[in-house]
């Protein structure tokens, strides 16, 4: 379904009963969704262009606890566990009351951050372009469509892009023979950071940990949990998907009421995944030239590349007979389908990669 442009859909139907879905064999165990794409009409020339631009926004985000309230709640937690230890078991009264003031003169010792704002954007643009051309005569009818989609993410290094092309052709050879030739191609590119910021970790990092020290170096964030650094410098995972498909068919009407159809539909898929993770060291504010450790999951530079190639062919033959006798109608159908699929995968990886800025 994802490989069909919404602009090309003429109709959709769901086959749930065993009789109608039987031609598809075991693949129809959970039902069949049949999508019919639009085709050109005789003596009807049309040109349509559509452009959409919009923004995606989070529906709602949890409120971020301020630094002073976090200090108070941490002390409340310790007090509930051990009332005899007093109210200021983790943070002193001076820290609770004056942290924000001390931050102005010593931001490294008294950081104040809002991790939600640092990671998530307020909105992300998206756009769609679609162009449809259709026309034909009694002998030849053609419909061509092109669609382009681009969506940016709500955080850095996250975006999606897709191209889709489809051409449907109908040929009227004579009164008892018709032919059809359809071709479609789609290519998509999906990029995402190596670290998924939607993990619960970013919602649990308190604002008392610095994203960057005052000298510009990345902060350690609890000894290796700087998700902002992971997003910006940790590398990306990029997935390319290419799909080329076609369908050729003939319809023969040898006698009135009898229609014999044959279809062959091959599909090729060429997919590639490149995952590049960079080593991310961190330092302390008082010694910016000494590496103290590495961010969790980013201890070494790592490259993985994966290739997936698949090929499938669907072959169908149908014979439909419809005849009316007065007030009676007779309908009969016989069909045959053959489905062949081939899949191949190749993967290679290298840890402790020397080229830290590749690819």
Q: What is the pLDDT of residue 333?
A: 87
Pick the CATH number of 44-64+114-350 from 3.40.462.10, 2.40.170.20, 3.40.630.10, 1.10.1270.20: 2.40.170.20
Report the alpha-carbon distance of residue 281 to residue 4 in Å, rounded: 44
CA-to-CA dists, residue 308 to 187, 269, 271, angstroms: 14, 8, 5
Q: List strand residue ranges (DSSP E) for 253-327, in order.
A: 258-277, 281-282, 293-294, 302-325
* Structure confidence at residue 36 as a pLDDT band (50, 70, 90): confident
217-237 average pLDDT score: 92
Reported as a single tens digit per residue, the pLDDT across 110-158 is 999 999 889 988 999 999 999 999 999 999 999 999 999 999 999 999 9
311-317 average pLDDT score: 95
Q: Looking at the predicted structure, is the pLDDT value of residue 24 above 80?
A: no
Domain boundaries defined on the chain:
44-64+114-350
Q: What is the pLDDT of residue 202?
A: 67
Return the number of other C-beta atoms located less than 10 Å from residue 275's C-beta: 17
Q: Is 204 left (phi over 0), alpha (psi -120 to 50) or beta?
A: alpha
21-32 average pLDDT score: 73
272-292 average pLDDT score: 93
What percent of the chain is modeled with pLDDT above 90?
71
161-183 average pLDDT score: 96
What's the mean pLDDT when you consider all of the chain?
91
């Amino acid at each position: 379904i994802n490989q069909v442009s919404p602009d090309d859909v003429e109709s959709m139907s769901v086959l749930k009963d065993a009789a109608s879905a039987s031609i598809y064999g075991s693949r129809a165990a959970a039902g069949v969704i049949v999508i019919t794409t639009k085709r050109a009409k005789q003596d009807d020339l049309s040109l349509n262009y559509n452009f959409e631009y919009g923004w995606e926004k989070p529906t709602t985000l949890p409120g971020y606890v301020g630094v002073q309230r976090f200090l108070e709640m941490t002390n409340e937690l310790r007090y509930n566990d051990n009332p005899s230890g007093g109210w200021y078991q983790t943070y002193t009264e001076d820290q609770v009351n004056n942290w924000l003031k001390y931050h102005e003169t010593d931001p490294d010792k008294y950081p104040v951050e809002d991790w939600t704002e640092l990671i998530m954007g307020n909105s992300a643009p998206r756009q769609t372009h679609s162009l449809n051309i259709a026309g034909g005569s009694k002998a030849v009818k053609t419909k061509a469509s092109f669609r382009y989609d681009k969506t940016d993410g709500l955080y850095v290094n996250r975006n999606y892009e897709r191209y889709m092309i489809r051409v449907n052709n109908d040929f009227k050879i004579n009164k008892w023979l018709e032919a059809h030739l359809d071709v479609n191609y789609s290519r998509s590119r999906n990029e995402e950071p190596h670290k998924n910021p939607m993990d619960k970790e970013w919602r649990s990092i308190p604002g008392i940990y610095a994203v960057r020290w005052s000298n510009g170096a990345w902060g350690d964030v609890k000894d290796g949990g700087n998700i902002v650094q992971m997003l910006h410098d940790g590398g990306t995972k990029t997935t390319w998907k290419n799909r080329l498909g076609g369908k050729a068919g003939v319809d023969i009407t040898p006698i009135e009421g009898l229609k014999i159809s044959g279809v062959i539909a091959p599909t090729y898929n060429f997919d590639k995944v490149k995952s590049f993770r960079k080593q991310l060291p961190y330092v302390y504010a008082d010694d910016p030239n000494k590496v103290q450790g590495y961010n969790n999951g980013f201890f070494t530079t790592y490259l993985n590349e994966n290739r997936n190639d698949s090929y499938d062919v669907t072959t169908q033959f149908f014979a439909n007979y419809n005849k009316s006798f007065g007030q009676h109608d007779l309908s009969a159908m016989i069909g045959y389908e053959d489905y062949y699929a081939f899949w191949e995968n190749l993967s290679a990886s290298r840890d402790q990669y020397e080229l830290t800025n590749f690819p």
